Every structure is written in structure tokens, then in C-alpha cells.
Amino acid sequence: MPPPASPPCALYLVTPPLSAANARRIAEAFAEALAATPIASALVRIARDAAGDAKAIAAPFIAAATAADCAVLVEDPRLAARIGADGAHVAGAEAALDEALASLKPERIVGAGALRTRHEAMTAGEKGADYVMFGEPFGAESPMALDALVERVAWWAEIFEPPCVAYAGSLEAVEALARAGADFVAVDGAIWDAASPAEAARRIGHIIEAGAHT
């Protein structure tokens, strides 16, 4: 399966770690967001202690995403096929990426994140990752400063073909990253913590569109 394509820039939604305690609430917010604005991809994160319930937890997300033409990824490549996800998002450009590529390609998407250096990002791209992600706080020691992240995204967009996902830690970062050339802008708390996830998603969609056309 090829990576999702929604040029020139699209929304990539990241869930908090999901468990039986919060999955229903987040799934409802996810459905509202999907109905409000196009979302190209979603990283559905299963809490470590909820792996045994992963299929049940992910099911409403996958159903809603399939109806909205949104690709669903999970962090554990071993879960992807078992629960019917479109692929996996792994940390780094070493063994975990190698294993995911070997087990999931070409049928499913494999993305790489937690790439702290340019060299790591280039390695992931050369190995065949369907996208690289920069700036995310999960799977990494600490998030990148916005100015450094904008520079990294612009560098990648100018030189390399695989899509780039840029994590926006704030609404202010969304437009800057879209303007820098990100193919996808990833958001999390801006949706889940909002009084209206649908309105937040709609607003972010408009910001991304404005930034991508600046």
C-alpha cells in the first residue's frame, strides 16, 4: 500500500496512549475531527499495558478512518496486520525500522520518527521508509525547538522525495511548518484537549491550508 498523498500539506493526527479507560472518549473525538476536516493519517497509540486489548481499542478508530479515507498506523509493527491497521510508525533508523520494513512492506506503510539527526533521517529514507517524522516528543528524548524544526523540514523538503511529517506542539507552529514544506503536520493535544475537537480540527485544517499556500 502506498503512503497517503494529500498535497501540498495534510493533517496527521496523533492519539494519546490509549487504554480501556480513555479509548471511547478519544474515539468519539476522533470521529468528530474526521467529520470536520480531511485527515490524511492517524497514529493510533496503544498504551503498553493495554496491548492485549489492542484490537478492541483500535477497532472504532479503524472503522471511522476507513470511512473517511484516513490511513491508520500503530507503533508496534507486530500489531499492524493483526488489528487491520494500514501500517506502523517506528522510532529510529536502526533495527526496529529494518524489522518493520521486512515484515510490512510492500503491503503496508512504514514511517520512521524519533530521528534526531540529519544522518538518521537520510538513513531512514534510504532504507525505504514511506515517510520521516521530525519534532515529535514521543519516542524521543525531547522535542526540537521550533526554529530548528522549521529548518529541518525545509532542508528535507528541498532535497528528498519521501514525505516529511512535522510535529506541531502548538497552533502557532502549525502554519510555520506547513509553510516550511512539510507534507503532513502532526498534532495531538490541540485536538484532544479542545472543548470541541471538531472545531479545533477544522481550525487546524484551515491553518495548514493557509500555510501550505503561502
Domain assignment present for residue 196? The answer is yes
Tell me if 5 is assigned to some domain: no
Whether the pTM exceeds 0.85: the reply is yes
In a domain, 47, yes or no: yes
CATH of the domain at 197: 3.20.20.70
User: Does 4 map to a domain?
Assistant: no
> What residues form DSSP beta bridges with 165?
133, 184
List average pLDDT for each run of 10 residues in the chain, which is 214 residues long: 59 97 97 97 96 95 98 96 96 97 98 95 98 88 87 97 95 94 96 95 95 78
pLDDT at 8: 81
Domain of residue 83: give its range: 10-212
Does a structural domain hold residue 3?
A: no
Inside any domain, residue 18: yes
pLDDT at 207: 96
Give the model's pLDDT for residue 82: 92
Q: Give the model's pLDDT for residue 2.
A: 44
- Give me the pLDDT at residue 117, please: 94
Is 165 part of a structural domain of the chain? yes
User: 198: which residues sit within 8 A by CB, 6+ positions away?
Assistant: 32, 33, 35, 36
CA distance 113 to 13: 14
In a domain, 68, yes or no: yes
Distances (CA, A) of 4 to 45, 57, 147: 19, 23, 27
| Number of structural domains found in the chain | 1
